[in-house]
Amino acid sequence: MPSYAVVGGSRGIGLELVRQLAANPDNVVFVTARNKAKSTYLSALIAESSNRNVHVVEADVVDARAMKTAAAEIAKMSGGALDVLIHNAARMEYANLFKAFDDYETDDQLDAEFIESFKVNALGVVHSVNAFLPLLRENTTKKIVIIGSGAGERSLMWNVRMHTMVAYGTSKAATNMVATKYAAQLESEGFTVVSLSPGIVDVSGTAVSEFDDASKAELARQLESFRKAMPDVDLTPITPEESVKTLLKIIGSLSVADTGSFISSFDPRFAQTST
């Protein structure tokens, strides 16, 4: 049975990854959640599933020891091996998302947001991969997929002249670099390590909070900047279901030739695999 670990699967894209993976009875899906008791959407998904192939372990990616403990628990259930690791956990605080460097009220607030974002979006990936590497090494598939973001892609941000999203964008650029470093480290072992952007996805259905009016206006302005820079690209937000359907097709098609890649939502491969 193909085995998957989804790190960060309680809401949004992670939740939909669990849903679609679990729909195949041949799969076994392991999920980490920061707080199992509060993961109500995930609990409901599991209760409604007839396949009984989803197993949840509590762990926070900022806690390296907790991630290793979670991996050890999963190893007991998986026979000590794992086919695919999908790291989805990320910090994207709506209250600070569209801030520029000089929009924070104090330097301390700026520092705090950058440090917390980096802990989750960069070090969190490191803790996740380090914890699950022993399991991945026991199987031949050896796929590590880091859910990245176009907001961390330097050339794209320059083309649209996006000077906001500073904490999120900078830390997601670090996410992409972490994936690259692991790809270089693990290439000789036959691993496929990629950073994969899910596209512009409307995850409001399971979000903890909503954008305020100012954030909605800024989002509209940013999308207009994208449209001017990329007039031939459809920038209509898609549903988690649509995004994950494409993500899983791409994950299934990945080979060692792709290792080290950042695969953007604007990559032709998305258009080729979408239905």
CA-based max dimension of the chain: 52
pLDDT of residue 226: 74
pLDDT of residue 94: 79
Number of structural domains found in the chain: 1
Asked if pLDDT for residue 270 goes beyond 60, the answer is: no
Instruction: Give mean pLDDT, residues 165-184.
Output: 96
Enumerate the active-site residues: 149, 168, 172
The pLDDT mean for the chain works out to 91
β-pair partners for 156: none
- What confidence tens digit (pLDDT) does each residue in 90-100 have? 998 878 888 99
151 contacts: CB under 8 Å, gap ≥ 6: 157, 162, 165, 168, 169, 172
Phi, psi of 130 (to 5 degrees): -60, -40
* Sign of torsion over alpha carbons 158, 100, 87, 241: negative
- What confidence tens digit (pLDDT) does each residue in 234-267 have? 778 889 999 999 999 999 999 999 999 999 766 6
Start-end of H helices in the chain: 12-22, 40-48, 64-78, 107-118, 124-136, 154-159, 166-186, 213-229, 240-253, 268-273
CB-based contact 149:197 (threshold 8 Å): yes
Distance, CA of 157 to CA of 160 (rounded, Å) = 5
**Of 84, 116, 100, 81, which Cα lies nearest the Cα of 196?**
84
- 54-68, 158-172, 190-204, 211-225: least confidently modelled range: 211-225
Asked if pLDDT for residue 273 goes beyond 60, the answer is: no
Domain with 85 in it: what CATH number? 3.40.50.720
- What confidence tens digit (pLDDT) does each residue in 189-245 have? 999 999 999 988 888 878 766 777 777 787 777 778 777 777 777 778 889 999 999
CB atoms within 10 A of CB 243: 25
pLDDT of residue 267: 65
CB atoms within 10 A of CB 128: 28
Range of the domain at 72: 3-273
